[in-house]
Amino acid sequence: MQNRYDFVYLFDVKDGNPNGDPDAGNLPRVDAETGHGLVTDVALKRKVRNYVYLTEDDKEPYRIYVKEKAILNLTQAEAYRAVNAEDQLEQDKKGHWKSKGKGANEEARRWLCQNFFDIRAFGAVMSTGVNCGQVRGPVQMTFGRSVEPIIASEHAITRMAVTTEAEAEKQEGDNRTMGRKFTVPYGLYRAHGFVSAPLAEQTGFSDEDLELLWRALEQMFEHDHSAARGEMNARTLLVFRHEDRLGNAPAHTLFDQVNIERVNPETPARAFSDYRILFSGRPLDEVVQVGDTTEPGNGVTLIRRI
């Protein structure tokens, strides 16, 4: 990969909870001071991982390191075995692998980068028990933040069943159980991302991996529907490609050119059409169409993926 990339990612939610906070009863995450909604970078990366896992069937070189029910030490021990360095590992009585010393640490780290997409992209700390070192990933993302403050709606829900016979007896024939559900009526969220060419060189993150990342951002919500999340959609993906591998302009100066305005500030937003996206003060559709590119200048090319 010979180019640096920065990108602006817009996605929205309608009548759903985009990212519940387990420390707050699963309420939608908010900035306590401004009321703007938040979606963590971890949640966004989780959806990218799930998309790659779904489409690539967890096969090399697109395996996923951080996935449901994964035991990371066992994966790291697998790397030692793959580079014929199993003699540098030992197992304790509980069956947990431990590395005796550095030895094949670098080879194991390289093998993991070669075979696991999310390590190549996002990096990983792989020094837990079985030491395969740490990898700093070339792809980094910020929290998603809603364009305007959100309001979390609370709903009472019922289930026409109980869990145990004891509960049924206690309810005296009425098997309904009550619960709560939280939704955001509508929220448009904006996240920023960065792709470093020098770090990509270190992990082996390639142009093919980058294209897979773009596809994941475009389509990941299509394969992540649930009753809790309502309707979530990727709305806009603007990619700034730098000619220089170290970059031709600061990322913030590029991001500042992308602005979002309400069409009618007098009524609450309930759809993506209630907003307009501007680039350098002009409607985005007048600057670049989906699938096209334009050159803002200074060695930077704007690519509109969505």
Per domain, the residue ranges of the chain are 5-149+182-304
| Per-residue pLDDT at 43 | 97
Distance CA 147, CA 178 (A): 33
Question: Measured at the alpha carbon of residue 147, what is the angle toward residues 144 and 151, in degrees to the nearest 5?
Answer: 95
Q: 114: which DSSP letter?
A: H
Residue pLDDT, tens place only, 222-251 = 999 998 898 999 999 999 999 999 999 999
Instruction: Evaluate if residue 170 carries a pLDDT over 90.
Output: no
Q: How far apart are CA 203 and CA 288, in angstroms?
A: 33
CA distances from 117 to 45, 135, 155, 191 (A): 12, 12, 39, 21
pTM, full prediction:
0.92
Indicate the pLDDT class of residue 102, thresholds 50, 70 and 90: low
CA distances from 6 to 53, 95, 269 (A): 24, 44, 28
